[in-house]
């Protein structure tokens, strides 16, 4: 312990400049975030932009700090002063960890407490979430940076290595996206572990090996194996995603919680960039929905298409993720889309097709509802967060364009926020619950993690409550008047199931392929079949 502290104090004295820089960046970031939280600055306001820039600098400060402290007793080379001195490797590693704990984690932890307190949340209630967030940041940021520092001999080489890794990462991400796009199902519980655990284990192993044995090439080989390991996990992960769908989304006897039917659309067009290896044509089908029970919400998580041509030839897609906004009671619509490889498209084009869509559904039910007369200032919503009216950059300064909410540490539960916009300027009289224009929006998640990778524990959310003020300029000007009830309805998962829609006489969109860009035009279909 004595040696650990001795090395720690030496580093603390020698690296005061780097410590100061990192602390200053963190302090400025906290200051900017606090100012944004206090002022309710408009999205894209100068303080918010500055805070975003500072948020990008925080990891840079960490990088400099972690690299410099590890390079103070660098592990690459055979001329370092310390390797012939009685350093105990475990003490050296512990001293570096203590340094990062003191000057990276502790300030960041304190920053999170300050941000939560400023946002109106008692920090002591969210310690576990903050620690979980720190764990995630360690895995995706601090450990990789430290691992790279242990296998590089100087800051310049470290910088070049990091740039190389970033380029490689982009290439790997593109390759993974190519594979994943062909097999993508809804994200499984396994996904997070698959893509989080290998980097943590590999980086920790490389660091441990280097401090223990100083075998640079072994440690480098271990790190180089990481991309291969990650790439290798894509196929099993995709296979797992596909294989589990029928088990996770079983067909139930009681029927689907929503009725879906195809709505022919004429003349819609758009463009899409294909995957790198294989051109994929996006095929969109708009569905109308009815039959969602009062108090329920339905989310279409994934779609699988079974396409049959008049000559009997057939193609079935993999499950493909959708992630639509939740469907509520009443009539509504949902856009589905699946990708079709260009060679399949060429085979089926210009023919009236039978399309059998299978949709994976998540059914949620109201867990709680809170209705509050809209106050002028900040207001707390139990179990959700703290909200305030949002002013935007509209022609009229101070005009309300929606609400801005802050949630502590992680996404709030899936929440439907609804209120009434007044069609006329506010006169001091609240808009009645059945008057004005319905303004609504969904935020949150049915499966929030205990924490998430974020530099601020106060998660900022902008909800424009279906306000089209910004899009239409001065047309359809609306006002959100104080006293008008605003309702936060939280949902919890009830179950998962499947439903299907059959479409007859469907024509694939016309496409023009230029390089890796596809321009498509959707034409009409002739006949639809109601949902089962």
Partner 1 sequence: MNPTIRTESLSKRFGRTTAVDSVSLDVPESAIYALVGANGAGKTTLIKLLMNILRPTAGSAQVLGMDSAALGGTSLSRIGYVSENQELPDGMTVGGMLDYFRPFYPTWDRELEAQLVRQFDLPLTRKLKNLSRGMKMKASFASSLAYRPQLIVLDEPFSGLDPLVRDELIEGLIERAPETTIFLSSHDLAEIESFSSHVGYLHQGRLLFSEEMTTLSNRFREVTITLAGPSPLPANLPAAWLEPQTADCVLRFVQSDFSDERSPREMAERFPAARDIGFEPISLRQIFLAIAKSARGAHGGSSHTSTDQEKQA
- What is the rounded CA–CA span in Å between residue 137 and residue 527? 52
Under rule CB under 8 A, residue 510 binds partner 1: no
- List the one residue from 81, 376, 428, 471 that touches partner 1 (CB under 8 A): 81
- Any contact of residue 6 with partner 1 (CB under 8 A)? yes
Per CB under 8 A, 105 contacts partner 1 = no
Query: Within 485-504, which residues bind partner 1 (CB under 8 A)?
Result: none
C-alpha distance from residue 413 to each of 113, 385, 458, 527 (Å): 22, 10, 15, 40
Contact (CB, 8 A) for 419 and 465:
yes
Segment near partner 1 (CB under 8 A); pick from 77-85, 349-357, 379-387, 389-397: 77-85
Tokens, residue 487:
């309702």
Pairing mode, if any, of strands 259-263 and 269-273? unpaired
Stretch that binds partner 1, among 60-68, 74-82, 342-350, 406-414 (CB under 8 A): 74-82
| Beta carbons of 532 and 287 less than 8 angstroms apart | no
For residue 75, the SS3 value is coil
- The piece of 2-10, 255-263, 396-404, 429-437 that touches partner 1 (CB under 8 A) is 2-10
Query: What residues numbered 176-205 form the site for partner 1, per CB under 8 A?
Result: none
CB of 66 to partner 1, least distance (A): 18
Closest to 180 in 3D by CA, of 102, 139, 238: 238
Any contact of residue 3 with partner 1 (CB under 8 A)? yes
Determine which residue in the list 1, 46, 85, 474 makes contact with partner 1, applying CB under 8 A.
Answer: 85
- 3 vs 261 by CB, closer to partner 1: 3
Least CB distance from residue 71 to partner 1, whole Å? 12
Residue 375 three-state SS? coil
Query: Which residues on adjacent β-strands are paired with residue 336?
Result: 285
Closest to partner 1 by CB, 4 vs 141, is 4
Selected binder of partner 1 within 79, 124, 350, 474 (CB under 8 A):
79
Residues in CB range of 43: below 8 A, 6 or more apart: 390, 392, 462
The DSSP code for 512 is E
215 by DSSP, 3-state: which?
coil
In the complex, minimum distance from the CB of residue 244 to partner 1, in angstroms, rounded to a whole number: 48
- Judged by CB under 8 A, which stretch of 82-90, 283-291, 351-359, 478-486 contacts partner 1? 82-90
| 86 touching partner 1, by CB under 8 A | yes
Segment contacting partner 1 (CB under 8 A): 60-68, 78-86, 149-157, 166-174? Answer: 78-86
Minimum CB–partner distance for residue 14 and partner 1 (Å): 5
**Number of residues in contact with partner 1 under rule CB under 8 A:** 16
Q: Which is nearer to partner 1, 10 or 244 (CB)?
A: 10
Applying CB under 8 A, which of residues 55, 89, 135, 344 lies at the interface with partner 1? 89
By CB under 8 A, tell whether 14 contacts partner 1.
Answer: yes
Nearest distance from residue 79's CB to partner 1, in Å? 5
Smallest distance from partner 1 to CB 156, Å: 16
Name which position in 87, 195, 196, 449 contacts partner 1 (CB under 8 A).
87
- Note the Cα 153 to chain centre separation in Å: 35
Which DSSP category does 80 fall into?
A: -
Contact, 457 vs 129, CB < 8 A?
yes
77-97 burial code (b ≥16 CB/10 A, e <16): eeebeeeeeebeeebbbbbbb
Stretch that binds partner 1, among 83-91, 182-190, 356-364, 483-491 (CB under 8 A): 83-91
Question: Count of CB atoms within 10 A of residue 298's CB?
Answer: 28
Taking the complex as a whole, the smallest distance from the CB of residue 87 to partner 1 amounts, in Å, to: 7
Buried b (16+ CB within 10 A) or exposed e, 21-41: bbbebbebbbebbbbbbeebb
Who's near 5: CB < 8 A, 6+ residues apart? 95, 98
Q: Is 66 left (phi over 0), alpha (psi -120 to 50) or beta?
A: alpha
157 near partner 1, judged by CB under 8 A: no
Tell me how far apart the alpha carbons of residues 466 and 480 are, in angstroms, rounded to a whole number.
12
List residues binding partner 1 (CB under 8 A).
2-3, 6, 10, 14, 78-81, 83-89
């Amino acid at each position: 312990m004595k040696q650990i502290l001795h090395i720690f104090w030496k580093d603390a004295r020698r690296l005061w400049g780097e410590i100061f820089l990192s602390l200053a960046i963190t302090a400025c970031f906290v200051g900017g975030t606090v100012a944004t939280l206090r002022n309710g600055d408009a999205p894209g306001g100068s303080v918010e932009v500055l805070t975003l820039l500072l948020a990008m600098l925080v990891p840079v400060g960490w990088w400099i700090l972690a690299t410099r402290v590890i390079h103070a007793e660098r592990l690459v080379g055979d001329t370092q002063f310390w390797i012939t001195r009685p350093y105990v490797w475990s003490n050296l590693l512990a001293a570096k960890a203590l340094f990062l704990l003191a000057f990276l984690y502790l300030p960041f932890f304190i920053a999170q407490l300050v941000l939560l307190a400023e946002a109106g949340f008692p920090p002591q209630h969210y310690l576990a979430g903050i620690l979980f967030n720190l764990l995630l940041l360690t895995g995706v940021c601090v450990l990789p940076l430290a691992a790279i520092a242990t296998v590089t001999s100087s800051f310049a080489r470290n910088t070049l290595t990091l740039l190389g890794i970033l380029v490689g990462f982009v290439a790997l991400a593109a390759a993974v996206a190519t594979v994943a796009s062909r097999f993508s199902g809804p994200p499984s519980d396994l996904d997070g572990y698959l893509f989080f655990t290998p980097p943590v284990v590999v980086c920790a192993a490389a660091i441990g090996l280097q401090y223990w044995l100083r075998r640079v090439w072994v440690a480098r080989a271990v790190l180089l194996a990481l991309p291969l390991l990650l790439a290798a996990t894509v196929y099993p992960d995709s296979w797992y995603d596909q294989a589990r769908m029928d088990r996770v989304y079983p067909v139930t006897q009681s029927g689907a919680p929503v009725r879906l039917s195809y709505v022919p659309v004429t003349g819609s067009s758009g463009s899409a960039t294909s995957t790198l290896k294989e051109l994929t044509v996006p095929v969109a089908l708009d569905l109308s929905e009815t039959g969602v029970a009062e108090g329920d919400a339905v989310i279409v998580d994934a779609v699988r298409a079974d396409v049959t041509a008049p000559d009997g030839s057939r193609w079935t897609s993999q499950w493909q993720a959708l992630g639509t906004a939740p469907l509520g009671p009443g009539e509504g619509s949902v856009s589905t889309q699946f990708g079709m490889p260009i060679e399949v498209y060429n085979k089926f084009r210009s023919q009236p097709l039978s399309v059998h869509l299978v949709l994976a559904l998540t059914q949620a039910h109201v867990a709680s509802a809170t209705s509050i007369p809209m106050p002028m200032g900040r207001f707390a919503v139990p179990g959700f967060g703290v909200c305030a009216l949002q002013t935007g950059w509209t022609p009229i300064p101070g005009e309300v364009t929606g609400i801005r909410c802050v949630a502590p540490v992680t996404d709030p539960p899936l929440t439907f926020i609804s209120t009434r916009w007044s069609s006329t300027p506010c006169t001091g009289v609240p808009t009645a619950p059945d008057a004005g224009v319905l303004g609504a929006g969904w935020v949150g998640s049915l499966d929030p993690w205990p924490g998430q990778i974020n530099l601020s524990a106060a998660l900022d959310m902008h909800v424009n409550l279906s306000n089209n003020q910004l899009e239409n300029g001065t047309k359809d000007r609306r006002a959100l008047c104080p006293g008008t009830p605003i309702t936060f309805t939280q949902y919890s998962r009830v179950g998962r199931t499947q439903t299907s829609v059959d479409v007859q006489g469907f024509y694939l969109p016309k496409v023009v392929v230029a390089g890796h860009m596809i321009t498509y035009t959707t034409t009409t279909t002739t006949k639809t079949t109601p949902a089962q």
